[in-house]
A and B are shown apart, each in its own frame.
Chain A
Amino acid sequence: GAVVSQHPSRVICKSGTSVKIECRSLDFQATTMFWYRQFPKQSLMLMATSNEGSKATYEQGVEKDKFLINHASLTLSTLTVTSAHPEDSSFYICSARFGGSGELFFGEGSRLTVL
């Protein structure tokens, strides 16, 4: 199946700093990418939908100025957590698909710990 790669898989940062997470589709062109956040023992919560070449669409309650999403190419989307705080510590997971519907392919997730 299609492969989606996330980097880094784990990151630890100090409070107040910014962290960038990359999501790459390795063997297909991802017209749409999704970013999810998952707290321990909870489900995946959709943060935003990212379409190549256009602004991301954020879910209600997600601060777009805090979670910057860039989908500059058909194979790369980035999530930047700005001015990170301990409450931003979470498991961030990206997914990608080709076209407007159909199967999603997930990355392995990036665990962010903010000290």
Chain B
Amino acid sequence: GENVGLHLPTLSVQEGDNSIINCAYSNSASDYFIWYKQESGKGPQFIIDIRSNMDKRQGQRVTVLLNKTVKHLSLQIAATQPGDSAVYFCAENIWGSSASKIIFGSGTRLSIRP
């Protein structure tokens, strides 16, 4: 079946540094990708998304890069803050016969060193 996976399960970053979280996806037909942040005991929170016709999209302190050639997605967080500590998931939109569904990757835990 479809699978969206991550290279690193945990990432420790010095406060103030930039964080880069990577994700590999397997479905070349996916047309939409999303990054979510999940804090303990809560539902996923939308961070940023990107459609397959784009290579890069920037938000506030976050940038998503999409490389369709190697089916790779990354999330860059600038000037990482303690509040960025969470688990980050990439997800992809996969189309079925008449509708689409969002499938999640395995997640990366981001921890911030003071």
Binding site for B on A (CB under 8 A): 1, 6, 32, 34, 36, 42-46, 49, 51, 57, 60, 93, 95, 100-109, 111
Pick from B58-66, B71-79, B97-105 the stretch touching chain A.
B97-105
B31 to chain A, nearest CB (A): 8
Which chain B positions have C-beta within 8 A of A44? 44, 89, 104
Interchain pairs with CB closer than 8 A, number: 60
Interchain CB contact under 8 A, B43 and A103 = no
Interchain CB contact under 8 A, B104 and A43 = yes
Which chain A positions have C-beta within 8 A of B46? 1, 103-106
Verify if B1 is at the interface (C-beta below 8 Å from A). Answer: yes
Which residue of B36, B43, B49, B96 is within 8 Å of A108 (Cβ)?
Answer: B43
A21–B93 alpha-carbon span in the complex (Å): 25
Which chain A positions have C-beta within 8 A of B99? 32, 49, 51, 100-101
Interchain CB contact under 8 A, A109 and B101 = no
- Which residue of chain B is the closest to A106 with respect to CB atoms? B43
- Jot down 5 A-B pairs with beta carbons below 8 A, ordered by A: A93-B44, A95-B43, A101-B93, A106-B36, A109-B43
Which chain B positions have C-beta within 8 A of A57? 96
Verify if B41 is at the interface (C-beta below 8 Å from A). Answer: yes
A54–B98 alpha-carbon span in the complex (Å): 13
Which chain B positions have C-beta within 8 A of A1? 46
A97 to chain B, nearest CB (A): 9
Verify if B45 is at the interface (C-beta below 8 Å from A). Answer: yes
A32–B93 alpha-carbon span in the complex (Å): 14
Interchain CB contact under 8 A, A34 and B101 = yes
List residues 18-66 of chain B with CB under 8 A from any CB of chain A: 31-32, 34, 36, 41-46, 49
Interchain CB contact under 8 A, B100 and A100 = yes
Verify if B81 is at the interface (C-beta below 8 Å from A). Answer: no
10 A-B pairs closest in CB distance:
A106-B43, A44-B104, A108-B43, A109-B43, A43-B104, A100-B99, A101-B100, A106-B44, A43-B106, A43-B107
